[in-house]
Structure 1
Amino acid sequence: MAVGQDLLNVPFPEMVKSMGVGIAEAQYELDLTSLKIARLMAGYAPEDEEEGTASSARPNLVKIGDDSPDGYSLLELGFTPTFYQFVDTLIEVKMSISMATVSESKRSSTTVNASVSGKVGFLSASAKMKVSTVSASFSSKYQYSAEGSSLMRTKLVTVPAPAILEERIRAMLSTESEPE
């Protein structure tokens, strides 16, 4: 009975939920990081995370010879930020539960017979005696072992930047590069 209950006690739904939430949170952080990298690759300064403000200046430009007095952003030079996505998530749980009960009992006995007879004058007497000793011992051993292991594995792959993001970045760069 206890073995079945132990199998039911495995928190499989919680493990699946925790893994799913963990992957979603990690995906969110990966996406935010990729967007920050896209901003840096566009030539902008990093956001001030304490204040939550972003500068419109573009100090992170690459200058190539005299052809680029202002410089080019990495995006203008054809580089793109890398985005990542989780795929092929696997949860594997292995359990081994065993129970054993061993009962042992021992009994031993010893019997001693004795007889006595005697005569004193005209009186005579005799007695017989039988003595038995009994020794009993009982022991019970209960063994229980439960072993378990779990494995959680996920695969992370690169994916191209969203097409709409690339279009908006290119549109933004073309409006900024037009002379005023």
Structure 2
Amino acid sequence: MSVGQDLLNVPFPEMIKSMGLGIAEAQYELDLTSLKIARLMAGYAPESEEEGGAASTERTNLVDLGDGNSEGYSLLELGFTPTFYQFVDTLIEVKMSISMASQTESRRSSTQVNASVSGKVGFLSASAKMQVSTVSASFSSKYQYSAEGSSLMRTKLVTVPPPSILEERIRAMINTPTE
């Protein structure tokens, strides 16, 4: 196993893809929420799930300022705008520390013993010499592997102004007399 291969095994493309898709899905949900808030601020009731999500065309969420306008004013007509958010400065950081160590050790020892024997019995005599060697061998191998890792995914969410076309339509709605 090599350190280079371990670094190649980090699923970096999948991490980037997952983070990108997550940000896109979150951005979509944030935009939908801001549009729902804009609708509420325009004075319309929220979409009802019982009615199959049908949007009401009746303006019921209005503010009465007591100035003789019997209908009242929407928050948009009073100058409020919905807040929109956008993801910026997305960062992926991966830190790894990989170390490997290998150690091989071998030892050999030998002992040599010499012996000599001679003897005489009657008219027969004999002698013998003997040499004995013992060998002791040991072999050990140590292998150590250590891997540490950490990852950090961070993104920054900031407010952005409403889309300019939405602001234009709000101005047109405010300048058009209500029936």
Give the TM-score normalised by structure 1: 0.88
SS at structure 2 position matched to 1:78: coil
Query: What residue is the counterpart of 1:109 in the other structure?
Result: 110
| 1-structure distance, mates of 2:91, 2:171 | 38
Query: What residue is the counterpart of 2:6 in the other structure?
Result: 6
Comparing 101-110 with 46-55, greater Cα deviation is found at 46-55
| 2-structure distance, mates of 1:16, 1:24 | 12
| 2-structure distance, mates of 1:145, 1:67 | 78
Is 1:28 matched with 2:28? yes
Deviation, 1:88, is 1.1
Say what the alpha-carbon RMSD is for the aligned residues.
Answer: 1.9
Give the TM-score normalised by structure 2: 0.89
Query: What residue is the counterpart of 2:60 in the other structure?
Result: 59
SS at structure 2 position matched to 1:46: coil
Structure 1 runs of 4+ aligned residues shifted over 6 Å read none
Unaligned runs of 5+ in 2: none
Identity of aligned residues (%): 84
Deviation, 1:146, is 2.0
| 1-structure distance, mates of 2:57, 2:174 | 12
Query: What residue is the counterpart of 2:137 in the other structure?
Result: 136
| 1-structure distance, mates of 2:110, 2:69 | 110
Comparing 142-151 with 22-31, greater Cα deviation is found at 142-151
Query: What residue is the counterpart of 1:126 in the other structure?
Result: 127
Q: Which amino acid aligns with 2:15?
A: M
Unaligned runs of 5+ in 1: none
| 2-structure distance, mates of 1:65, 1:172 | 21
| 1-structure distance, mates of 2:63, 2:54 | 24
Query: What residue is the counterpart of 2:46 in the other structure?
Result: 46
Q: Which amino acid aligns with 2:4?
A: G
Is 1:79 matched with 2:92? no
Per-residue CA distance 1:84-132 (angstroms, 9 max, x = gap): 0111111212222222111011111122222222221111212121111
| 2-structure distance, mates of 1:22, 1:95 | 24
Deviation, 1:36, is 0.5
